[in-house]
Structure 1
Amino acid sequence: MTAREIVDRVRAGDLDHEAALDALTGVPTAEVDAALGTALEEQFDRLFRHGWQPLELHRVIARRGNPIQARLVADAATAFLRGREPVDERWRDQVGRIPRNERRSDRIAVLDAQLDLLCELGRLPAVEILIPPPGTPATTVHHHGDRRILDRVRALLAKAEATDFPAEAESYSAKAQELITRYRIEEVTAPAVDVTPFARRIGVDHPYEGEKASLLDAVARANTCRTVWSPELGFSTVFGFDTDIDAVELLYTSLLVQANRAMTRDEPSRGRARVKAFRRSFLVAYALRIGERLRQVAEREFAGHGDLLPVLRNREVQVHEAAERAFPRTVRARGRRVDSLEGWESGRAAADEANLR
């Protein structure tokens, strides 16, 4: 068989991985490289043209634990830019932010990684196009206000996550929350411009992906956003306005760090099953309580701006409609099971201690 025939049989499922690897080692190197290179390029081209962004595809592949495959995604994203205009700056920026691993690997390891990656890419479906791929007309996303505020928020939250002193962490996080609220109110009260809701995919990592997705949803709903969780792909799509999604992503990331710290501190020291039940129950309770607290914060912060309520309701309707258009058929997730009262109570307590005003 030629290299191309071997690769095609792998893609069709007619030849298993190990047999294909053995067969390819007996084919001239140049022929193998050309066949595998073309097949991988076809798959990357399909995925990039049908919604996948550089960083999210890299994340999905990198979490499988093979650095060779992660490097192949990085190289493919860079190659996909060549000769394609116009390029949306968000797409180009993601290519530049992909981590690079330049370590060399032996040829058999590379062939093995390429074959496995080819099968994995073939299983990935098309997703919603949120950023136009290179070669298609770019879109303009309105960013209101001073983006440097978000840099200050990130810095404050990083300090809150790093300190071991609760009072100090509370001070940093309270200031961050004030800046986020000011940033959101600034956009709502800005002169009328053509601003519409859009979407952003946020990765949700294992373990306990479902519970973490619930935390993201709680943070999103408190900030007039909606989420759709795609468990098979490991991310949630967050719908909302630009400023609100920025707040959601920042708060979710920080609260997850705080949750992990509290969970590790309070979990039982023995019994794998007991620890697992504790952690799941902890995260369920944590997400529910955080949602309650964030809604209370939002209501209090906007209480002095009663004139904004009609605007906020209109934005919420627009966000709901955007999510419905993108995902007309969704299934409401079942409530998360709680198997550990100890974990539930610890999660509620940790959420009450979480750093937000």
Structure 2
Amino acid sequence: MRDDKNLTRIANLLRQAEGTDNEHEAATFLQAAQRLATAASIDLAVARAHDPAAARSGPTVRQIAIGTAGKRGLRTYVALFVAIGHANDLKVDVAHNSTFVMAYGFPGDIDATETLYSSLVVQMVTASDAYLKSGAYKEEVAAKVVTDSSGWRTRRRVEYTPLSPITARLNFQSAFAERIGTRLREARDAARAEAEAADRGRSGSTQIALRDKEIEVVDYHRAESTARGTWRGSSASAGYSEGARRAGDRAGRRARIGEQERLGGPRAALEEG
């Protein structure tokens, strides 16, 4: 069941984050949005453990468009969605061309993930655009492992080349997604610890309900997923740039939240993320 009131409260927190010029306030609002999503998820898990009627509503799967086939950098968009999804108890399968994902979990958790993603993905793109426009990437290099074959001997070496705009963008956005994932997991863990501490010494039902919920989602994914193999995240084939990743990590730390229109994309083969 969709909790529109809860989603509205999360969206309001994201708008507050977007509206402040203070990095610490923006981070606080984002953390609060994730803690609210986690608290609502915990409440539902505990309710389902005690209410037979609520228990009838189990996990589901939802296809979510990421972008159109052929668009560069879709894997970093997927990485951001997967990071947010994992912080909200989802299992995620990824199309082989990264045009869409299949999110497995409870409806409220999928709703919260979509709400957070729609705000964060535009911030990621905007921040990477600003980084490229600044020209700072031109002072960086990309490291790439190259294999040389001579007769029966194969030798691997690291080759350094000037950092191209596309490689800079991919490294920046990958680091941004990783930092966002870390921030959201920290907020989730804090909310869970708070709920479990409040329940300690009584029934212990919160911890049990969360464990049962996790098992239910894993079992549902195992039964319903048609994914082949495991999604490996952004490819390093284009090259690795420490400078671009540092810039992306900084942007992920101070992310203010924006809005984004849904991108469209066709269905294709899936990998488990």
Aligned to 2:229: 331
Q: Distance in 1 between matches of 2:80 and 2:38?
A: 20
- The verdict on how the C-alpha distance between 1:239 and 1:260 changes in structure 2, with shifts beyond 3 A counting, is same
For residue 224 of structure 1, report the CA deviation from its aligned partner.
0.9
Q: Quick one: distance in 1 between partners of 2:130 and 2:107?
A: 35
Displacement of 1:167: 4.9
Structure-2 separation of matches of 1:175 and 1:316? 23
Output the CA distance in 1 between the equivalents of 2:182 and 2:34.
16
Change (3 A) 1:278 1:236: same
* 8 A Cα contact 1:174 1:355, kept in partner: no
Confirm or deny: 8 A CA contact 2:32 2:187 kept in the other structure.
Answer: no
Is residue 152 of structure 1 aligned with residue 50 of structure 2? no
Question: What corresponds to 1:353 in structure 2?
Answer: 254
The residue number in structure 1 matching 2:112 is 247
Higher share of residues assigned strand = 2
For the 8 Å contact 2:103–2:110, the answer to whether it is kept is yes
Equivalent of residue 244 in structure 2, options 325, 332, 343:
343
CA distance in 2, matches of 1:148, 1:345: 37
Name the count of aligned residue pairs: 213
Candidates 267, 280, 288, aligned match of 2:178: 288
CA distance in 1, matches of 2:247, 2:92: 26
Identify which of 248, 263, 285 aligns with 2:128: 263
The structure carrying a bigger helix percent of its residues is 1
Q: Once the two structures are aligned, what percentage of the paired residues are identical?
A: 28
Asked if the contact 2:38/2:88 (under 8 Å) is kept, the reply is: no
What is the CA distance between 1:329 and its match in structure 2? 4.1
Distance in 1 of aligned mates of 2:21 and 2:187:
24
Of the candidates 166, 181, 193, which is equivalent to residue 276 of structure 1?
166
Q: CA 1:247–1:172 in 2, change beyond 3 Å: closer, same or farther?
A: same
Establish whether residue 300 from structure 1 lines up as the match of residue 190 from structure 2. Answer: yes
d(CA) in 1 for partners of 2:96, 2:163: 23
Which structure exhibits the higher relative contact order, with contacts defined as CA atoms closer than 8 Å and separated by 6 or more residues? Answer: 2
1:315 corresponds in structure 2 to 213
Counterpart residue type for residue 252 of structure 2 = A
| Residue-by-residue CA offset, 1:170-195 (whole Å, 9 max, x unaligned) | 45434433432332232123242212
Higher Cα radius of gyration: 1
User: How far is the alpha carbon of 1:158 from its aligned partner?
Assistant: 3.4
What residue identity is the alignment partner of 1:289? R
Following superposition, which runs of at least 4 residues in structure 1 exceed 4 angstroms of deviation? 162-165, 270-273
TM-score normalised according to structure 2 size: 0.68
Query: Cα RMSD over matched residues?
Result: 2.7
- 1:277–1:324 distance in 2 versus 1, CA, 3 Å: same
Alignment partner, residue 154 of structure 2: none
Distance 1:284 1:256, change over 3 A: same
Gaps of 5+ in 1: 1-141
Give the deviation of 1:335 after TM superposition.
4.5
- Note the C-alpha offset of 1:215: 1.3
When residues 232 and 276 of structure 1 are mapped into structure 2, their CA distance, relative to the original with a 3 A threshold, is: closer
CA contact (8 A) 1:225 1:244 kept: yes
Distance 1:148 1:281 in 2: 37
- Rate the CA distance shift 1:329–1:200 in 2: closer, same or farther, 3 A: closer
Unmatched tracts of structure 2, length 5 or more: 139-161, 197-203, 258-273
Q: What secondary structure, in the 3-state scheme, does the structure 2 residue paired with 1:196 have?
A: coil
